[in-house]
Structures are given as structure tokens and as C-alpha cells.
Amino acid sequence: MSVTTDATGKQAGTAVSAESSETVNGLMLDEESFRLIMGNRLPFAQMLGLQVDYFAGDHVRLRAVFSERFLRPGGTIAGPVMMGLADAALYALVLSRIGPVELAVTTSLSINFLRKPEPADVIAEARMLKLGKRLAVGEVTLFSERPGVGDPVAHVTGTYSIPPPEDRAAQSHQV
């Protein structure tokens, strides 16, 4: 098991085994490791009440736990909450495929709001469209968790820039 640390020595954690560069389920970073990154390195995750539901082979699922402060006039979830959730889901997806490369950054994010989300948890399911050496392109479908409401409330596409391997080594170190 390797653990990444930042310049202050704060652990980010990974689930990468010592024998191989992949975890048991084929992912380079598991959900618990991403929870550590969210808690230690992504302050907005707590503000948005983000939680990791699970990481799967073909997608990741995160949620923004409902809060009255997310509502805007008309009783709908504010767009920035949904955009932040979608971006975090894409980040989780990218790191699950490339490992704890925290300097992977959003270069493009586009959202189509499809219908009014109910005042409930918002669920994000992110899938990879293309993973290259320097760019990752994914999509996120957002749903309201209100019972009986199954249609998507938004569709998001995004691109992440992945730093070259030599820049990744400068960012973190193994302990």
C-alpha cells in the first residue's frame, strides 16, 4: 500500500498495492482513498455535502446530500451545486483511472439543465468517454433522489488535463 502526502505531510492515501499499480477491482484509486482526498484537499466538498456512494469498473457515483441552503427561488437546487457535484464526480472518475494525480485539472465543463431537480439529494453518475495520456473526457448524468423521479435533471460533459508523468512525480512522493 502506498500513501501520497502533500508538502505539509498530510496524507492523501491510495489503495494501490505494492505488488501492482492497480487495485483489486482494476481501479488505480478506490473510493476510500478518494474520500481522504475530499476530506483533506477539497474544502468545497464539505460545503456541498458531497459523499462517495461507490466506484465501479465503468463509472463512479457521488451525491450532494440535500440541504435547504442549496435551494434557490422556486424551490429548485441551485445550478452551482449541481455543477460542483458534477466536477467532483469527474475528478473522482479520472483519479480512479490514473491514481492519485491531484494536479489533474478541469479544462472544460459544460452542463445542460434538463428539468427542475426536486429538493432532495442529487446523485451524479460519471462515465469515462475517453482516457488519453494527457486528456480525459467524461460525462455525468445528474438525478434527483426523490422517490418516483428517475429522469435525469442535468447532463454534463467535461475534460480534464492530466499532467505528464515527470510533473506527477514532483507533486507527491511515496512513503
Beta-carbon count within 10 A of 115 CB: 12
Which tens digit of pLDDT belongs to each residue from 54-92? Answer: 999 899 999 999 999 999 999 999 999 999 999 999 999
Which tens digit of pLDDT belongs to each residue from 3-55? Answer: 333 333 333 333 433 333 455 478 999 999 999 999 999 999 999 999 999 99
Instruction: Spell out the domain ranges in the chain.
Output: 31-171
Quick check: 72 and 125 in contact, CB under 8 A?
A: no
DSSP three-state, residue 96: helix
CATH for the stretch 31-171? 3.10.129.10
- Which pLDDT value is given to residue 170? 57
Q: Which amino acid is at 64?
A: A
DSSP for residue 13: -
